[in-house]
Structure 1
Amino acid sequence: MTKAKKKTSNPGILHFLVSRAFLLNVVLAVVAFLLLVWLTLWGISRYSRHAESQTVPDLTGLVSSDAAALLDRAGLELSVIDSTFQNDVRPMTVISQDPPSGARVKGGRTIYVVVNRKEPPPTEIPYIEVGTSYLSVVEILESRGLKLGNISYRPFQYKDVFIEMRIQGKPGVPKPGTKVAKGSKVDLVLGNGLGDTKVEVPDLIGLTYYEAINLIQLKELNVGTVIASGAISDTIDAFIVRQFPPSGADQYINMGSMLDIWISDSAPDLFQDEENID
């Protein structure tokens, strides 16, 4: 008689699947997975700031340090990319910005600004020929960053043409190439077109250059070409040794005309003696 074999089942696997240890491991794995996903998303969000959007504040008129502090509170950064100079703007304040105020940007975005310089950069006094038109003079001055100041008139053959200029706050007529601050105001002397009025030609021979200039202006005339006879140590104290047109009885020229003068370190009598020896 054969015995029937008993069917035996393996309860080990089923028992493990419902065991507390397995369930705990599953829970821990799920928690670890969720934590990993959260950390990944948080890192991406912090790096790219996709989840944040900031309104760019208005930085115009703020000094750069205050602008940087304001942006820092908004989660933004400041970068000064350039500087310029404007007389009517406080030094080191923001003049312009990019992106503009009110724009929506991601957190951490850099805002680029242009600030006003502490001191104006230098520029050179341009050479302007006597007789240049007023409009051309203004264009030349503006191209050098200079501003138009006061305008006065002096007798001259032609109207509204350049005679001379002066820098406000500085004595004398500046030489071309002189360094001045950008934004400086330039006063102009223009011709008034009264060229038909006759004046007597003054006698300049023997006068110093400074004395001759004053006399020429007193006669409502203008200095033309200044020619040096030999080396000149000091133009202001140099002597006038020749002039054109020459002075003399019944020598008249139009008011506003130009007088050409020759200057020398030697007085006219010494100058003549040297010519006779030669």
Structure 2
Amino acid sequence: MIGKLLGNRYEILEQLGGGGMAIVYKGRDNFLNRLVTIKILRPEFTCDEDFVNRFRREAQAVASLSHPNIVSIYDVGRENDVHYLVMEYVEGDNLKNLIRAQGVLPQERVVQIARQVAEALQHAHENNIVHRDIKPQNILITAAGRAKLTDFGIAREATTATLTQTDTVLGSVHYLSPEQARGETADQRSDLYSLGIVMYEMATGVLPFQGDTPIGVALKHIQEVPALPSSLNASVSPGLERIIIRAMAKNIVDRYGSARVLLGDLEGLTGQVFQDSGTAGQLDEFATRVIPAVKNKEEPSQPAKKAVSGPKKRRFAWLWGTLAALILVAAVYATFELYVNVPEIQMPNVEGSTLEEARATLQSQGFKNIQENRNHHPTIPPENVISQDPPPDTMVKVTRNVTLTISRGPEYRTVPEVIGYTLSDARIKISQHELIVYEPYQEKYSNDYPVGVVMDQDPKPETNLTKGSGVTLYVSKGPQPVLRKIPDLIGLTENQARGELEKVKLKMADNVIRATSADYMQGQIISQNPVGGSEVEEGSEVQVTVSNGPGPERREVEVEARIPDDGKRHELKIIVNDIRGSSEAYKKEHPPGRKVVREVPYYGKAVIQVYIDGKLAGEQTIDKQ
């Protein structure tokens, strides 16, 4: 693409980077002789109507915006299959690279960048545009230090139609709001959550949630509470920390309701008072209420009198001037006594108390400006104090505002039915209901459910649990295996062993081991694993070791037998049981009273058995080899 001319006007100079949807180039507008940024939709998406529409949506979204903290769009076009946007070129770098280079940013810089992004979001939100992908990579920092918001590629117009539509979950998972992670529609407060993550990263140098997979990170947005920024960077002020934590509230109603309110708190950190038209009016009203009061007393409405001349007139003027001065001094003194010359006391601890008890305690100490916030809490009963600001035991003036966070009690969630789901799908379903899966999950055999599928759950579906509670899942291991007893294979040949194993639905491992043996004949099995007599699942393999010889030497033993002298002929049989197995060494009929002597061969340890007419007549064990 380098050197290509788009629209007979925009020359592509070099590639700057790229995202999931588009490639970004540096270019030149040959008509106006200025540098521009050209964003070109990736070729693989040009045939995808959804991506093309999303690409056009960025142009439509940003074209309606005009703000110094938003990158401007100059032109949009198509040349053959190339869809492109022409935007303002920003000389500088993105915020992500700035954080990588500096680690932790100074608090003043964090507040400055956050204010500028909040101002950009305020303008976008006032024009019904929700960005939905706020992240440091989409915040450009100019050479002069100004923050500019870019990449409205997945922005939506926040109209009634879109607020009721569940869109595909898009955006960068590390900055995704909990409602986006659950597949719900993002609104203005979702952008503020993502900005809270960006502020957290600027202030601490790290992301609040990390994970091995995108789903793992998304679940943490829904379930986990991040470490306080001050625990990672002690220089983070309490004021900035409160702003970050409120922006990152998991419950959308606990976040800032608008970028304007967030701006007010950010500007408060820099000593500037954020004034909208209502606030300014109140301050002006206060000014005209105090100062003219002195003037009204100097010029009271009186009936017409004769003019006072000479010393008497000067005496009246002196009296009125003195009276005005006294009133002004009294007002200054009263203000000093009420708001400045106030002793500090130790802040009482009312956390855990009922609201009624907390108010009574604070009022008894002289605190009058007591405000309340209400949040759900899993363990603190309703109408009891969760936390207080200022914190307990700090030294404060009794004229200071005290904010109590009051418990609404547990927040309940309905347990979804996940029987029949795969384990991963069940986890996602449960997390979408803001519950967790108890680990480790339980495994059971089942003839009804395939391996890896949830076969039971506790509690049952439609049960109400407090938010964040756990559900135990019982996952199928498949059918109950059938156990088989392994036969003793020692001394058998490979073929004999395979036959014995097949009888009990087992099989011999393919990788047969071969070893030298002086005790077993070549081709005989000398060991097996598992051993004979143990039980294994049907279909299991048995590993065998086969002898390569040489085996034991051939030896002979003299066997003597006497035929009964009863006038009848008898059958004499000699059986040799040795390493080869059982074999018949001799068999023949003999006349009565005859003495028979035979040389019988054997290998290794042997047992020689003598049978007369099929009955055991004698047995001898030979250990000598």
> Normalising to structure 1: TM-score of the pair?
0.44
Which structure has greater helix proportion?
Answer: 2
> Normalising to structure 2: TM-score of the pair?
0.22
